Amino acid sequence: MPVDVARLGPQESADRLTRLVWLAAIVLIVFGVKLLFIRQFGSAVPYWDQWDAEADLIYKPYLNSSLSLENLFQSHNEHRIFISRILTLILFEIDGGWDPILQMAVNAGLHVIAIVILVLALRPIIRPDQFGLLVLFSTLLFALPIGWENLLAGFQSQFYFLLMFSLLALKGFAGAPAFSLVWWGSALCAVAAYFSMASGALTAAAAVALVGAQFVLRHRTGRKELVGIVVLVAMTAVMLAFIRIVPQHDVIKAHSFSEFARAFLALLSFPRVSPILGLWVNLPAAVYVCAVLLRRPGLGSPHWYVLGFIIWLLAQSLSLAYGRAAFATSPRYLDLIVVGLPINFAILLLASNWMVHRRARAVTMLAMVGWLCIVFSGLIWNTVVLSLPAVLGKGQLGREQQQHVLAYLQTGKLAELQGKAEQAVPYPVPERLAELLSDPTIRQALPDAIRPADIDDRARLDRTLMKGRLRGTTNWLKLQMLNNAEILAGGGVALGFAAGWIGLMRRRGSIGDVVTPRPPRTSEFDRLGRTG
């Protein structure tokens, strides 16, 4: 009898309790660590793209009551970051002004939500007692400042929105019949992914590949399903057609197959200690894809969803290898690529459940240990040699940028912004930054840390819908989270120990007097809905 059917009530309750405690642990630890980095190294001075994309395009017309849908849908380089612009306006309203630190904190929360969605999506393919191992691995991974460029910039919410909407879209497409309510919700998420970043168009493309494979394998049949595939193809084509071509970015694209191949392999092998060892990082996923297609699990199987997200990750890697070959492994893009590591780890846990013979189990365990050695040695090297020094440098640059911007605002002299060290001024063109800082409306919107003393807050707040009613509460919550970041992370660690203790007691039969039965090793795909 399948384990899921035979589960007892007390055991199911204990599973749910343990799972909730593990989830609370990863949320508190990762969110707390991110807030700690923001508190120590974040800068309240807007940086680079924020001056044009937020100050000039959003806040100025908003305060002048001239903001239009055209502003919100206008392309930003290749992207149409509509979702991020809506979030920008919401935060401006509830805070009563422009606060990059608040933006960073909210972005950290968005990333944690995406991580929880990913972990929950992987849960069905492993045993309940392995969930803690998956959470532990994911916590160690995402607590590292791998994507520090996104972590310490208020403008980067689009990366997290892309990840969230893509996860949700593929979850629905993996099992929902064409044109059902869930299917339409997935289509809406795919559109939202596109309006997060240009590569969101590849979410619908991944769905085409996934649903197409199901159609070929006869899990989907009939004219309705075929029309659904055609609609997804049309969606993908329209999204790709509306991606703006930026001539200035030609220099960072791949200009030869060798450039493309180097960038692609670098992405697939992250975090590599060496290119040869790095190739093992995604080997579990490659084997898994072949196994799923050969085993042909039923339409309701979570294996289809995992397969779909592997396709999505491959598409993102191909896109980055071509469009950003010059710096494909830049930290801002790694927040997307690194989610492949928990997927590969979950697949290794799944493989350990398939093995029946003792020798096969031993080989699988050795493979998992070897994989973890490669991954964690690479992560440690990247963190110590690359990420942490860059984070320290970012914090120092933030202080210099604030000093130079304040000097210009106090004196009005362009020389205060010119002739500085690289990135010591928070915009690549000092003359343009001076123009923006001199604009009366933008001066009203400037963050508290650099707003001139002669600016009347009331004049700005009166131009907003909420008139600053939530400003005090928002600032209080932000400060409480930042000042108590280590307490949040510490509480998460305590919950992690509690979840581990609960799991240990359950295995000994001390909680609910129920011992967790081991599922049969040979029927993993059957348990998850394999067809005959």
- What is the average pLDDT across 61-65? 94
Q: Is the model's pLDDT at 361 over the cut of 90? A: no
Whether residue 146 contacts residue 338, with contact meaning beta carbons closer than 8 Å, is answered with yes
In angstroms, the CA 351 to CA 359 distance is: 14
| First vs last C-alpha separation in the chain | 17
- What is the average pLDDT across 482-490? 96
Q: Is the model's pLDDT at 287 over the cut of 80? A: yes
Q: Is the model's pLDDT at 478 over the cut of 80? A: yes
- Provide, rounded to the nearest whole percent, the portion of the chain with pLDDT above 90: 75
Q: Is the model's pLDDT at 286 over the cut of 70? A: yes
Burial of 241 (0-12, 13-18, 19+ CB in 10 A): exposed
Q: Is the model's pLDDT at 271 over the cut of 50? A: yes
Q: Is the model's pLDDT at 382 over the cut of 60? A: yes
Q: Is the model's pLDDT at 52 over the cut of 80? A: yes
Mean pLDDT over each residue of the chain, to the nearest integer: 89
Structure confidence at residue 521 (pLDDT): 43
Q: Is the model's pLDDT at 431 over the cut of 60? A: yes
- What is the average pLDDT across 126-153? 94
- What is the average pLDDT across 37-57? 94
Structure confidence at residue 532 (pLDDT): 31
Distances (CA, A) of 71 to 56, 58, 62, 204, 245: 10, 7, 10, 25, 18
* Confidence tier at 363 by pLDDT (50, 70, 90): confident
Q: Residue 46, preceding bond cis, omega within 30 degrees?
A: no
Where do the structural domains in the chain lie, given as residue ranges? 3-392
In angstroms, the CA 63 to CA 52 distance is: 15
Q: Is the model's pLDDT at 143 over the cut of 90? A: yes
Half-sphere exposure of 119 (CA within 13 A, CB side): 27
Q: Could you tell me which residue, 160 or 361, shows the higher pLDDT? A: 160
Structure confidence at residue 453 (pLDDT): 84
Structure confidence at residue 388 (pLDDT): 95
Among 3, 22, 8, 6, residue whose Cα is nearest residue 502? 22
Please tell me which of 177-181, 265-269, 274-278 the model is most confident about, judged by mean pLDDT.
177-181
Taking the model in full, what pTM does it have?
Answer: 0.91
DSSP string across 395-441: HHHHHHHHHHHHHHHHH--GGGTSSPPTTSSSSS-HHHHHHHHH-HH
Q: Could you tell me which residue, 478 or 15, shows the higher pLDDT? A: 478
Q: Is the model's pLDDT at 117 over the cut of 90? A: yes
In angstroms, the CA 320 to CA 171 distance is: 23
- What is the average pLDDT across 151-169? 95
Structure confidence at residue 6 (pLDDT): 39
401-425 residue pLDDT tens: 999 999 999 998 999 999 888 889 9
Helix 283-295 to helix 340-354 angle (10° resolution) is 60
Least confident of 131-145, 266-280, 299-313, 454-468: 266-280
Q: Per this entry, what is the length of the chain?
A: 532
- What is the average pLDDT across 30-59? 95
Q: Is the model's pLDDT at 519 over the cut of 60? A: no
Which residues, including other chains, have CB under 8 Å from residue 435's CB and lie 6 or more apart? none
- What is the average pLDDT across 50-69? 94
Q: Is the model's pLDDT at 385 over the cut of 50? A: yes
Torsion angle of the four alpha carbons 24, 373, 350, 345, in this order, in degrees rounded to the nearest 10: 50
Q: Could you tell me which residue, 374 or 516, shows the higher pLDDT? A: 374
Whether residue 100 contacts residue 42, with contact meaning beta carbons closer than 8 Å, is answered with yes
* Confidence tier at 273 by pLDDT (50, 70, 90): low
Q: Is the model's pLDDT at 175 over the cut of 70? A: yes
- Provide, rounded to the nearest whole percent, the portion of the chain with pLDDT above 70: 92
Phi, psi of 28 (to 5 degrees): -70, -40
| Strand, helix or coil for residue 297 | strand
* Confidence tier at 527 by pLDDT (50, 70, 90): very low
Structure confidence at residue 67 (pLDDT): 92
Distances (CA, A) of 3 to 7, 8, 13, 180: 6, 10, 15, 30
Structure confidence at residue 470 (pLDDT): 92
